[in-house]
Amino acid sequence: MNEETKNTVDIDEALYRPIYETGKSFYFAVGFLLFIIGFTLVVYIRQVYYGLGVTGMNQPVTWGFYIVNFVFFVGISHAGTLISAILRLSKAEWRRPITRMAEVITAIVLAIGGLHPIIDLGRPDRVLNIFTAGRLQSPLLWDVTSITAYFTASTVYLYLPMIPDIAKLRDRGGKMVWFYEFLSWGWHGTEHQKKVLSRAINILMVMVIPIAISVHTVISYIFSMTLQPGWHSTIFGPYFVVGAIFSGIAALMIVMISFRKYFHLENYLKLVHFRHLGTLLLIMSLLWFYFTFSEYLTGVFGAEPHEMDVIFYKFTGTYAIFFWGMVVCNFLIPVVILAFKKFKTIPGILIASISVVIGMWLERLNIVIPSLANPRMGLDMGMYTPSFTEWTLFIGGLAVFVLGFLVFSKFFPIISIWEIEEGRKESVKEVEKRVTSYLPDPANSVE
């Protein structure tokens, strides 16, 4: 059976390569990442043992890196499912090699992000209190529910379109056939199955968009439901969602570019994909700027004293460097790069994406800390410097992300093979049909 499949050389063989060819560098990378993660675990256990005192958080600044990273990671997770759902829904044909990666980002990063509130707990041993004595009235539990829902939905949404590919892997044979057989759910690519699958994906597509939007809206509610200056703002819901998609696209492009490079997928991930996504990123950058501008304009114009304290602190205080860094990273750099075709090359886009990811992280920092550092009641200004523990846990989070991706790419194709095939086989015709349906009918048909 094995030999049979090996003989049939697929056109998309390049996409299977990461699964079947395991280089030394892979083991080295996994080992290195596991080491980092192990170390992070030790640091975390130390934190549990001694208490949150090992972090840099303090009395007015009661939230620090963990919450920043929570918002950041969950924001990144919007890369995926949301983008892929929108692209699928809008039948953008160039989506085909992108969606899988986007969805994987979502699943992994969401898992990391979702853990952050638990890391942030002073009593992680009592986390079950949320189940025995929780209050759904608390925005924190809205989060728990919506992140659970989003995680479930996005895993399902990652899984269902992967079934045909899993079946392919199963049919190719190999070491883990039983595993692929278990996961393929008896897919044989019959018409009925195809109909069932596409119907399910269609329903999911529609469902996942509001869930994804709800997740980041709800995360913004954590802040905006309080009365704190700089947080208590109605714009926060959409602002966070825009920011999330923004950072998500950037993260997606970073991942795409690195996979393109290391697995030689230049044939699949072409410049045009990056150009399209780059345009999207540019739009999001402008949108982000618009939201940021509105947010601060209303604050400055209203000039409520405590609001002004926070805003001035951001503009000129200890955190000014982060604020202006955020503006540069999120607006100036991407706009300059993406607005000119000359710069809109793959390295250019990579720079823009990295700058956006950094910028969005700074934005989260700028939202969480300055508001807390400026208590209203004539008290002293707070100061927050993250400790070694927090940095380690941040790096550990990134390591889990990379490891997750590596491991995923070891088991599953990182680009949806059947969708590419489908694209080759059917979509040219279909698109032609579709496009002609958009076009005005020939003049003579009007009577």
Binding positions for another protein, 152-211, rule CB under 8 A? 152-153, 156, 160, 163, 178, 181-182, 185-188, 190, 192-193, 196-197, 200, 203-204, 207, 211
- Comparing CB distances to another protein, the nearer of 359 and 370 is 370
Alpha helices in 129-235 (DSSP H): 129-133, 139-159, 163-172, 177-184, 191-224
Task: Give me the count of residues in the chain.
Answer: 447
Which residues within the stretch 133-152 sit at the binding site for another protein (CB under 8 A)? 133-142, 144-146, 148-149, 152
Alpha helices in 56-98 (DSSP H): 65-76, 80-89
Contact 364, 72 (CB under 8 A): yes
- CA–centroid distance for 44 within its chain: 24
Distance, in Å, from the CA atom of 22 to the CA atom of 410, rounded to the nearest integer, reads: 8
- Comparing CB distances to another protein, the nearer of 40 and 184 is 184
Answer for which of 215, 255, 372, 414 binds another protein (CB under 8 A) is 372
Which residues within the stretch 273-332 sit at the binding site for another protein (CB under 8 A)? none
Minimum separation from the CB atom of position 68 to another protein (A): 13
The count of chain residues that interact with another protein, using the rule CB under 8 A, is 75
Minimum separation from the CB atom of position 311 to another protein (A): 17
Distance, in Å, from the CA atom of 251 to the CA atom of 108, rounded to the nearest integer, reads: 12
Distance, in Å, from the CA atom of 397 to the CA atom of 150, rounded to the nearest integer, reads: 19
Taking Cα atoms as reference points, which of 363, 335, 364 lies closest to residue 349?
Answer: 335
- Comparing CB distances to another protein, the nearer of 146 and 416 is 146
Query: Going residue by residue from 224 to 263, which x/- string records binding to another protein, judged by CB under 8 A?
Result: -xxxx-----------------------------------
- Comparing CB distances to another protein, the nearer of 334 and 382 is 382
Distance, in Å, from the CA atom of 308 to the CA atom of 324, rounded to the nearest integer, reads: 17
- Comparing CB distances to another protein, the nearer of 57 and 254 is 57
Instruction: Please report whether residue 73 would count as binding another protein according to CB under 8 A.
Output: no
- Comparing CB distances to another protein, the nearer of 29 and 177 is 177
Contact 251, 258 (CB under 8 A): no
Contact 162, 416 (CB under 8 A): yes
Instruction: Please report whether residue 110 would count as binding another protein according to CB under 8 A.
Output: no
Answer for which of 129, 258, 279, 316 binds another protein (CB under 8 A) is 129
Task: Give the number of other Cβ atoms within 10 Å of residue 51's Cβ.
Answer: 10
Minimum separation from the CB atom of position 117 to another protein (A): 7
- Comparing CB distances to another protein, the nearer of 5 and 193 is 193
Distance, in Å, from the CA atom of 369 to the CA atom of 38, rounded to the nearest integer, reads: 29
Instruction: Please report whether residue 402 would count as binding another protein according to CB under 8 A.
Output: no
Instruction: Please report whether residue 358 would count as binding another protein according to CB under 8 A.
Output: no
Burial (0-12, 13-18, 19+ Cβ within 10 Å), 13: exposed
Instruction: Please report whether residue 51 would count as binding another protein according to CB under 8 A.
Output: yes
- Comparing CB distances to another protein, the nearer of 94 and 312 is 312
Distance, in Å, from the CA atom of 353 to the CA atom of 252, rounded to the nearest integer, reads: 9
- Applying CB under 8 A, the span of 31-39, 45-53, 103-111, 336-344 interacting with another protein comes to 45-53
Tokens for 108? 């992994």
- Comparing CB distances to another protein, the nearer of 184 and 355 is 184
Minimum separation from the CB atom of position 268 to another protein (A): 27
DSSP 439: S
